[in-house]
Structures are given as structure tokens and as C-alpha cells.
């Protein structure tokens, strides 16, 4: 089987089927992820040698070196007229596997992504730290790209993006945008962040926070008057704080909370759910906005109280996952079982569906409306 013919057929199938991802494993027919479900194709199963040749053809020397030495690598590539793709190449049981994701040519709008209006306002903040969280493949990178595009269309800013890899390609509109790819333009997030403040940015975008050093650099940049937008892998707002504090030694938590109380402006956690009737995936959100009561809770380290603050903060643009899931239920977009399975507190959500609203932090009844 010819390598170029194989990948052309596979990517053409991905695009034509409206899939988000293509999975290639040696000895198995390629599979697609369509509307959140994994589907086997009728394409010929590739041999390991073909996948190895394919991986090599898509990598530069530095990427190939990392792949052969470390066993996995992230990259992005353009292929003919099919568009731009993100790929993770890795080995399993000594054989090559490739996970390839289609990156849309056009950056989706807030409305297309169903992102709450408050995030539009957050994108135009002048300073502070905004964290976008969620599991892998929950749409974090797309959300950030939409935020960057909003800044680009409305303000003359210098935006520096540090990504691994570069997914959406941004073109200068009102803003000057520079996209630095880890492994290509810089050796690591931490090194890029070490110098970024000297590059006169207004906005700094960090593809993913993975260490204390990276987070400390992000927080310092926010403290010195920059808007910092970053992603972190976490399942909800409280887990974001667990992840952050887990980067540091236990004794540093009070100082960290002090700094966060002054500089954290928002956390948005998102999850994608299958909307069966529309044959699409729709997002659910948990949003924390920094207001005086939230800042006080963070400063005092009373993080468990943030659940109640989120639930009662709709006027500031906040929402809990259950409030977001309930809206999807009321709109008839997602079936009840899917929503309950996605909830961190399915009992409370089921009560919400009956018109009974509970304090999700204590279980007490709040009233008969959200």
C-alpha cells in the first residue's frame, strides 16, 4: 500500500464523514470519531511499517528525533486541500499508532460554540488570569482561539501564544499575533514564559499549564499587568484548584491563594455532550467569576464554599455544571440519562428537573426556581 495514497484516502474519509478524529493502529482498520462515537471504517488496515513511514513523512527532524527517543510526539500539519490537522504519534506494544484531529479552517464564533456571553467580556479584560479547563477533547483550544479572535477583531494588542502544537492559525487583524510552537520555536513552555514579558505582550496565551514553573510564570505575568489565558486539565472548578496547589509544596498554599485572590479573574470548565437529535456535540459549562466574595473565599482558602458562590452568582455570569445541564434539558437538546451521567451531583440535577433546587454544597433546598 502506498503511504501517500493511504493517508489521502483516510483524511478524505475523515472530512467527508464529518468526523473529528482519525485513529490509525497497526493491523486494524482505521476508525473515526463521529459525533463523539468511535466508528470503524472499511479502509484497509495499515501495517506498522506503513504507519512508521507515514509518521516520518509528516515530521521534521526535531519531531522525528523526539518520537524515536521518547516514544510520542505532538505536531500539526497541513495536507493538500483537506485542511490542517493535529496529530499525536505514539507507540504501543512496540508498534506505531496515530491519533489525528481535524482543525477547522475558520475559527468558530462564540455563538457557533454555544459559549456563554460572559466569556466575550472576559476576552476583552485588560489584565488578570483566565483558566479554561476540561478533559482532553473537550474543546479548550477552540474556546481559547475564539477568545483570541475576539481580541484580534476588536483591539490593537500584541498577543503571544505558546502552544504545543499550534492548531488554529491566526492572522493579524487589529492585533499583532505571534504563535510560538514548543519544540519548533522554543524548547519548552517554561523557557518561552521566562522571556515572554520582555517581548512586550499585552496578552499571553499558554496552551497548557503542566508544572509549578509554568503556572508561577503565568501568575507573575498576570501580576505585572498582562492578560493571561491558559488551559489546564481538570474536571471542575475545585479540581482546578487541586491541580494548581498540587504543583507546589504544601507550605506554599497560603501565599498561592493570596496571589490568586488578587489575580485570578475567571475559571471556565467545559464538557462536551452528545445531542442525539441534532447529531452534534454541545457543551456544558461551570464558570467561576472573581467577585468580592469569591476573592475572599480564595484568600481564606475556603475553596469548598466556591460551589455555593458559583450557584448563587448567576448575576455575575457564573453557573454550575448542573445549572448548565438543566438548560440543555429544558432546551430538549440532550436526553436525561446523558445529562445525569455527566453531572457531578446527579441527585441534585434530577431534583432540578422536577423544579426543586438544592444547595449543591450542603444538599439543603434553595427554593422553587434557579
Fold agreement (3-103, 110-319)? no
pLDDT of residue 250: 85
State yes or no: pLDDT of 200 exceeds 80: yes
Could you tell me which of 240, 203, 239 has the C-alpha nearest to residue 222? 203
User: H helices of 71-211, where?
Assistant: 110-113, 118-123, 140-154, 189-196
pLDDT of residue 357: 84
pLDDT of residue 366: 59
The pTM of this model reads 0.85
SS (H, E, C) 147-172: HHHHHHHHCCCEEEEEECCCCCCCCC
CATH topology of domain 3-103: Beta-Lactamase (3.30.450)
Enclosing H/E stretch for 73 = strand 72-79
| Share of residues in the chain with pLDDT > 70 (%) | 97
Q: Stretch 348-355: mean pLDDT, rounded?
A: 92
State yes or no: pLDDT of 367 exceeds 60: no
Alpha-carbon dihedral sign for residues 39, 43, 47, 50: negative
Q: Which three cell numbers stand for residue 192?
A: 518561552
Distance CA(257)–CA(219), nearest Å, equals: 11
Sort residue 332 into left (φ over 0), alpha (ψ -120 to 50) or beta: left
All structural domains of the chain with their residue ranges: 3-103, 110-319
State yes or no: pLDDT of 368 exceeds 60: no
Residue 186 β-bridge partners: 182
Please, which residues have CB within 8 angstroms of residue 96's CB and are 6 or more apart in sequence?
A: 26, 48, 51, 52, 55, 89, 90
Could you tell me which of 79, 77, 10 has the C-alpha nearest to residue 87? 77
Distance CA(126)–CA(272), nearest Å, equals: 29
Residues 209, 231: contact at Cβ < 8 Å? yes
pLDDT of residue 136: 84
Render pLDDT for 111-154 as a digit per residue (tens, 0 to 9).
999 999 999 999 999 999 999 999 988 999 999 999 999 999 99
Q: Which three cell numbers stand for residue 345?
A: 451531583
User: For the chain, what is the mean pLDDT?
Assistant: 92
- Using omega within 30 degrees of 0 as the cis cutoff, is the peptide bond preceding 179 cis? no
CATH topology of domain 110-319: Rossmann fold (3.40.50)
| Share of residues in the chain with pLDDT > 90 (%) | 83
Render pLDDT for 217-272 as a digit per residue (tens, 0 to 9).
999 999 999 999 999 999 999 999 999 999 998 889 899 999 999 999 999 999 99
Render pLDDT for 304-340 as a digit per residue (tens, 0 to 9).
999 999 999 999 999 999 999 999 999 999 999 999 9
Amino acid at each position: 500500500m502506498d503511504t501517500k495514497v493511504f493517508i489521502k484516502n483516510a483524511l478524505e474519509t475523515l472530512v467527508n464523514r464529518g468526523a473529528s478524529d482519525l485513529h490509525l493502529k497497526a493491523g486494524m482498520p482505521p476508525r473515526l470519531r463521529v459525533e463523539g462515537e468511535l466508528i470503524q471504517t472499511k479502509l484497509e488496515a495499515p501495517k506498522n511499517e506503513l504507519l512508521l513511514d507515514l509518521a516520518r513523512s509528516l515530521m521534521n527532524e526535531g519531531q522525528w528525533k523526539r518520537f524515536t527517543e521518547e516514544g510520542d510526539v505532538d505536531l500539526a500539519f497541513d495536507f493538500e486541500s483537506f485542511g490542517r490537522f493535529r496529530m499525536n504519534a505514539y507507540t504501543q506494544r512496540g508498534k506505531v499508532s496515530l491519533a489525528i484531529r481535524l482543525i477547522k479552517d475558520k475559527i468558530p464564533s462564540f455563538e457557533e460554540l454555544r459559549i456563554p456571553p460572559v466569556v466575550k467580556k472576559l476576552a476583552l479584560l485588560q489584565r488578570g488570569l483566565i483558566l479554561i479547563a476540561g478533559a482532553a477533547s473537550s474543546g479548550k483550544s477552540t474556546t481559547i482561539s475564539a477568545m483570541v479572535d475576539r481580541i484580534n477583531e476588536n483591539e490593537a494588542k500584541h498577543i503571544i501564544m505558546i502552544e504545543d502544537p499550534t492548531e488554529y492559525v491566526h492572522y493579524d487583524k487589529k492585533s499583532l499575533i505571534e504563535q510560538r510552537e514548543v519544540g519548533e520555536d522554543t524548547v519548552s513552555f517554561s523557557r518561552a514564559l521566562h522571556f515572554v514579558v520582555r517581548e512586550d505582550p499585552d496578552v499571553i496565551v499558554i496552551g497548557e499549564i503542566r508544572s509549578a514553573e509554568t503556572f508561577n510564570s503565568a501568575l507573575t505575568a498576570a501580576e505585572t499587568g498582562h492578560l493571561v489565558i491558559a488551559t489546564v486539565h481538570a474536571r471542575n472548578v475545585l479540581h482546578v484548584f487541586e491541580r494548581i496547589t498540587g504543583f507546589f509544596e504544601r507550605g506554599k498554599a497560603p501565599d498561592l491563594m493570596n496571589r490568586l485572590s488578587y489575580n485570578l479573574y475567571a475559571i471556565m470548565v467545559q464538557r462536551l455532550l452528545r445531542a442525539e437529535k441534532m447529531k452534534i456535540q454541545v457543551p456544558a459549562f461551570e464558570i467561576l467569576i472573581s467577585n468580592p466574595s469569591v476573592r475572599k473565599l480564595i484568600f481564606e482558602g475556603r475553596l469548598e464554599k466556591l460551589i455555593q458562590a458559583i450557584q448563587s452568582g448567576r448575576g455575575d455570569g457564573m453557573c454550575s455544571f448542573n445549572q448548565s445541564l438543566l438548560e440543555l434539558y429544558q432546551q430538549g437538546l440532550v436526553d436525561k440519562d446523558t445529562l445525569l451521567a455527566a453531572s457531578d451531583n446527579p441527585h441534585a440535577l434530577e431534583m432540578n428537573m422536577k423544579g426543586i433546587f438544592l444547595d449543591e454544597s450542603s444538599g439543603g433546598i434553595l427554593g422553587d426556581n434557579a
